[in-house]
């Protein structure tokens, strides 16, 4: 018998002491009410909510869980460092080792700066690019997510036009649009943000063309601007190198976060020698940026990335899930679109403008013990086994069957806040 009384109580208490009850995309406010907001525990591929319900977790903490929650080698390294010291007056030796290890793995990188969140890394990339030739304009593909700082947060509440005054947008995967953006700021383009593949909420994911990737590199070279790849979400799930290495494209800067410490708080900006002087000239720091425990965790994570078949195992379970869902959707006669790389799955239903089908299906799966997201890309991790996927598929099969029964009279999307978000997008 699944319960959610403790979660409901925590949400009620939170309403009084946390603005809006919860903030950011980690808020469960847009999700069906079978989804918990609070969690008590995580291990391997599983999550437990505060009522003791277990989930196979396809969100992986919105990415950071790459190897499995509480991965033994990572936690042992973190515990050993914690016994010696964590946040101190300066960094530990781990910082140098981590920088050496990381730059040895990423083909374009010659140096690293460590920070805490992905937004720190992307903002630092922006500042470094501006410092490079003392220019102002930053080109960003429309509606791509690069963090929650005033220059890029998706909501405009509390943001003034001056925060975005030097941000120029262009269309993703459209080289002509990028060229027009370059022309509009001729002589003043500092850098261009590139997202490895299109992974925005509510929309099908897609990979860009090789021409787009190489074209952005060429445009940056012609303008002597820096190409910045935002690997915060994609890092080490598509490749053991920067994602566009497959296209032969080396950025000047790359922003990393999420998986770097397999859940421990650490992110990084990597750069090539070309950007070294600019990176040395900016002022960046934070009280916790030098903490040694996340760095020790990151060293162990990178070691596992180099020395195990974690990626091949992730891809294998991800393909198994995708094939299984495809088969079920066809058998139940309920078409879905599974887009993007299988290891970062997104499942959207056809003819579902108000997301009533997607919400019902994921809401049912959550009730039965599988945490899947109705509109945000998901993440697979190396702790997932073929048996976990098979257990998942048993549950999604039931969710398809329940959806099929409910379809003839499926009520309109009841979640007002989700409807508002969908309306804002149109």
Nearer to ligand PMP, 265 or 369 (CB): 265
CA pair distance 45, 382, nearest whole angstrom: 8
Q: Which contacts (CB < 8 Å, 24+ apart) does range 10-14 have?
A: 10/37, 10/38, 10/50, 11/37, 11/38
For position 360 contacting ligand PMP by CB under 6 A, the verdict is no
Q: Token match 């909501």: residue? A: 155
For position 65 contacting ligand PMP by CB under 6 A, the verdict is no
Q: Are 153 and 147 in contact (CB under 8 A)?
A: yes
For position 117 contacting ligand PMP by CB under 6 A, the verdict is yes
Nearer to ligand PMP, 119 or 413 (CB): 119
- From residue 67 to residue 106, the character string flagging contacts with ligand PMP as x (rule: CB under 6 A) and all else as - is ----------------------------------------
Strand partners, 271: 111, 253
**Minimal distance in Å, beta carbon 120 to ligand PMP?**
7
**Minimal distance in Å, beta carbon 380 to ligand PMP?**
16
Of 102-110, 143-151, 168-176, 338-346, the segment contacting ligand PMP by CB under 6 A is: 143-151
- From residue 33 to residue 62, the character string flagging contacts with ligand PMP as x (rule: CB under 6 A) and all else as - is -----------------------------x
For position 329 contacting ligand PMP by CB under 6 A, the verdict is no
Nearer to ligand PMP, 92 or 122 (CB): 122
For position 264 contacting ligand PMP by CB under 6 A, the verdict is no
Out of 11, 233, 264, 322, the only residue in the binding site for ligand PMP (CB under 6 A) is 233
**Minimal distance in Å, beta carbon 128 to ligand PMP?**
16
**Minimal distance in Å, beta carbon 330 to ligand PMP?**
31
CA pair distance 423, 414, nearest whole angstrom: 14
**Minimal distance in Å, beta carbon 232 to ligand PMP?**
4
For position 230 contacting ligand PMP by CB under 6 A, the verdict is yes
Residue whose CB is nearest to ligand PMP in the complex, by number: 118
For position 146 contacting ligand PMP by CB under 6 A, the verdict is yes
Out of 37, 65, 119, 415, the only residue in the binding site for ligand PMP (CB under 6 A) is 119
Under rule CB under 6 A, how many of the chain's residues touch ligand PMP? 12
For position 232 contacting ligand PMP by CB under 6 A, the verdict is yes
For position 257 contacting ligand PMP by CB under 6 A, the verdict is yes
Of 71-79, 83-91, 118-126, 268-276, the segment contacting ligand PMP by CB under 6 A is: 118-126
Nearer to ligand PMP, 269 or 368 (CB): 269
Instruction: List residues binding ligand PMP (CB under 6 A).
Output: 62, 117-119, 122, 145-147, 230, 232-233, 257
């Amino acid at each position: 018998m699944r319960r959610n009384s403790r979660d409901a109580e925590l949400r009620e208490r939170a309403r009084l002491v946390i603005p809006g009850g919860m903030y950011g995309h980690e808020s469960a406010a847009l999700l069906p009410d079978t989804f918990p907001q609070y969690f008590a525990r995580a291990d391997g591929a599983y999550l437990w909510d505060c009522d003791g319900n277990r989930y196979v977790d396809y969100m992986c903490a919105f990415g950071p869980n790459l190897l499995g929650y509480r991965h033994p080698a990572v936690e042992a390294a973190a515990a050993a460092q914690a016994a010696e010291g964590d946040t101190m007056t300066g960094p530990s030796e781990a910082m140098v080792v981590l920088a050496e290890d990381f730059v040895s793995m990423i083909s374009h990188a010659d140096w690293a700066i460590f920070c805490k969140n992905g937004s720190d890394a992307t903002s630092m990339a922006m500042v470094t690019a501006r410092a490079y030739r003392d220019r102002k304009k930053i080109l960003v593909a429309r509606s791509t997510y690069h963090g929650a700082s005033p220059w890029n947060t998706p909501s405009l509440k509390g943001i003034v036009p001056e925060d975005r005054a030097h941000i120029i947008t262009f269309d993703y995967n459209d080289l002509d649009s990028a060229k027009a953006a370059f022309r509009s700021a001729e002589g003043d383009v500092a850098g261009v943000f590139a997202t490895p593949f299109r992974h925005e909420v509510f929309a099908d994911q897609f990979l860009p063309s090789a021409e787009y990737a190489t074209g952005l590199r060429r445009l940056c070279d012609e303008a002597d601007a820096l190409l910045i790849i935002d690997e915060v979400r994609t890092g080490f799930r598509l490749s053991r190198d920067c994602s566009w290495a497959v296209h032969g494209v080396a950025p000047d800067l790359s922003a990393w976060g999420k998986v770097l410490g397999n859940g421990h708080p650490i992110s990084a900006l990597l750069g090539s020698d070309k950007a070294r002087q600019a990176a040395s000239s900016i002022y960046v720091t934070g009280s916790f940026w030098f903490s040694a425990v996340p760095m020790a965790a990151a060293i162990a994570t990178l070691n596992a990335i180099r020395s195990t078949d974690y990626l091949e195992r992730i891809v294998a379970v991800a393909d198994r899930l995708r094939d299984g869902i495809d088969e079920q959707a066809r058998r139940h006669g309920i078409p879905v679109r599974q887009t993007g790389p299988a290891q970062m799955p997104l499942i959207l239903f056809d003819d579902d403008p108000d997301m009533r089908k997607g919400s019902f299906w994921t809401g049912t799966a959550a009730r039965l013990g599988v945490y899947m997201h109705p509109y945000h890309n998901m993440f697979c991790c190396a702790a997932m086994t073929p048996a976990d996927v098979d257990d998942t598929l048993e549950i999604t099969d039931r969710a398809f069957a329940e959806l099929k029964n409910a379809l003839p009279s499926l009520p309109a999307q009841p979640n007002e806040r989700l409807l508002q978000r969908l309306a804002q997008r149109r």
